[in-house]
């Protein structure tokens, strides 16, 4: 597939949460329910980013700042028809920029142990695998905790 040029990462609004939830259902076996999305949005609206192509939400990322200068990427989803075209990379890069501006010295995320493609993708972007988190997901699957440390 050809990479999409001119991808623009936008801030999502509360009115976009239905589309976020629908995309989550396309991408994950246990997507965030609407109540959790609303709670996360109210606590940190600037952490909701997306990419639209021809008006359609094709990717989103949810991130927030935690204590001690740690950013946390909570969820990244890209519509299966738009993967490997730069959408996820654009979202991660924008999140890393935003979190650094807010004072993050490192960023964490969790990936399903079985999702080798996602783990390789995050590794290529500079994340390092730290350890496994057994029974992390609702279905009992183990997560792999990954960290990005900003260059000094």
What's the residue count for the chain? 152
- Could you tell me the pTM of the whole model? 0.93
User: What's the chain's average pLDDT?
Assistant: 94
**pLDDT by residue (tens digit) across 30-88?**
899 999 999 999 999 999 999 999 999 999 999 999 988 999 999 999 999 999 999 99
Q: List, in order of start, the domains of the chain with CATH numbers.
A: 9-149 (3.40.630.30)
CA distance 122 to 127: 5
Closest C-alpha to 58, from 10, 107, 15: 10
b or e along 69-96 (b: 16 or more beta carbons within 10 Å of the residue's beta carbon)? ebbbbbbbbbbeebbebbbbbbbbebbb
Contact between residue 43 and residue 77 where contact means Cβ atoms under 8 Å apart: no
CA distance 135 to 130: 16
**pLDDT by residue (tens digit) across 90-135?**
999 999 999 999 999 999 999 999 999 999 999 999 999 999 999 9
């Amino acid at each position: 597939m050809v990479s999409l040029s001119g991808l623009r990462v936008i801030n999502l609004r509360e009115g976009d949460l239905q589309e976020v939830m629908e995309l989550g259902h396309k991408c994950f076996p246990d997507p965030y329910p609407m109540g959790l999305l609303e709670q996360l949005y109210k606590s940190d609206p600037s952490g909701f980013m997306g990419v639209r192509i021809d008006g359609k939400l094709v990717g989103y990322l949810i991130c927030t700042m935690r204590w001690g200068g740690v950013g946390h990427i909570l969820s990244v989803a890209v519509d299966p028809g738009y993967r490997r075209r730069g959408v996820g990379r654009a979202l991660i890069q924008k999140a890393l920029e935003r979190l650094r501006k807010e004072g993050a010295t490192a960023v964490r995320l969790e990936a399903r142990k079985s999702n080798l493609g996602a783990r390789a993708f995050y590794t290529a972007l500079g994340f390092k695998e730290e350890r496994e988190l057994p029974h992390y997901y609702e279905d009992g699957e183990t997560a792999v905790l990954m960290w990005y440390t900003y260059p000094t």
